[in-house]
Copies of this chain bind each other. A is one copy, B any other.
Amino acid sequence: MSTYQLAVLAGDGIGPEVMAQAHKVLDAVEQKFGLNFQRTDYPVGGYAIDLHGEALPAATLKGCEEADAILFGSIGGPKWDTLPLEQRPERAALLTLRSHFDLFSNLRPAKIYPGLADLSPLRKDIAESGFDVLVVRELTSGIYFGQPKGLSGEGEEEYAFDTMRYSKKEIRRIAVSAFEAAQKRNNKVTSVDKANVLVCSRLWREITEEVAKDYPEVELEHIYIDNAAMQLLKDPAQFDVMLCSNLFGDIISDECAMITGSMGLLASASMNSDGFGLYEPAGGSAPDIAGQNIANPIAQILSAAMLLRYSLNETAAADAIENAVVATLEAGVLTGELLSAEERHKAASTDTVGDYVVQQL
């Protein structure tokens, strides 16, 4: 029996209640596939601030270090929004975890599920032409972490500055992630940049071209970020893998998530080169609906599936979870936000969806 250590960081808002559903699913997978997930809960985010005065306590970080992977819920909420920026949950916990574990490769799949095209904010004919994109975002460099960063000067001439910075090595490894992923999908990488303005983007293009030579079966296209933001609306079906730097990936992945119209179904993975990773839903902590048993647990369940696939290499178990999710969606066992106003009375609760996924396993 394979045994794995998982650090579970449920966090704030709807985090704990959707995490409870992921636990049920992992319990069922343990039985079915003879696996053993030793899970330890650690406080993070606003909850950790309230308990220990900081969003990422040392014990939480240590627990993550000892684990094979991190299953993350969601963090933040109005209660902690008045704190100084550096102490707020999103920054203090998420950005620190990314950088501490060198989680440079962020995979954010976004697709319109069959039958759910009506949820997309795009025009019916465009949404129905299909949308299935994997955003591969660089997560530990670029303008998020580049130095120097700060303030200088006096009076009205005082200025702020941030540095966007990418080394060849950093570009190469994320480009490899994108091409590897494209090989398992539709063999197309669209690299998003602003090479007509940024030196970083020019190096990005150069290295991406080099990496492409090792993947002759994968088509490489370059697109400017401004044009990408447009093409995603006009003809989203043209994309397969979108390779982005940290800042551009932040924008493009959220645009992609919104195009699906079903953020509650989207999971993401943030990995380093040892296969260690953090897995989390794409949506936020949604404090407004927390504790009501109405939040969609699918993104959290699919985050667990990504964890099995990418950090534990338990492909069969990951497939089983993803199939169970598809069966649940096809059976119409849906939380309220996926239903039209007229159908909302048929909404399934958070628990019911979790239980239904378990039954499909």
Binding site for B on A (CB under 8 A): 85, 88, 90-91, 95, 120-124, 126-127, 143-144, 146, 149-151, 153, 155-170, 172, 194-200, 202-204, 225-227, 229-230, 233-234, 247, 250-255, 257-259
Which of B126, B196, B204, B227 contacts A91 (CB under 8 A)?
A: B196
Which of B90, B122, B157, B234 contacts A123 (CB under 8 A)?
A: B122
> Which chain B positions have C-beta within 8 A of A203?
151, 158-160
Q: A143-B197, A194-B250, A233-B259 provided; 8 other pairs, C-beta below 8 A? A: A153-B167, A157-B167, A157-B169, A161-B165, A162-B200, A229-B255, A230-B257, A233-B258
Residue of B nearest to A227 (CB): B254
Instruction: State in angstroms the CA–CA spacing of A257 and B230 once bound together.
Output: 8
Instruction: State in angstroms the CA–CA spacing of A150 and B91 once bound together.
Output: 28
Give the number of times this chain occurs in the complex, counting copies.
2
- CB <8 Å contact, B164 and A168: no
Q: How distant is A306 from chain B, measured CB to nearest CB, in Å?
A: 21
From known contacts A90-B196, A121-B234, A124-B123, infer whether A159 and B149 are also in contact, taking CB-CB under 8 Å.
Answer: no
- CB <8 Å contact, A226 and B200: no
> Which chain B positions have C-beta within 8 A of A253?
226
- CB <8 Å contact, A121 and B167: no
> Which chain B positions have C-beta within 8 A of A120?
123
Instruction: State in angstroms the CA–CA spacing of A73 and B291 once bound together.
Output: 57
- CB <8 Å contact, B164 and A85: no
Residue of B nearest to A195 (CB): B85
- CB <8 Å contact, A161 and B158: no
- CB <8 Å contact, B143 and A85: no
Residue of B nearest to A248 (CB): B251
- CB <8 Å contact, B163 and A168: no
Instruction: State in angstroms the CA–CA spacing of A225 and B157 once bound together.
Output: 25
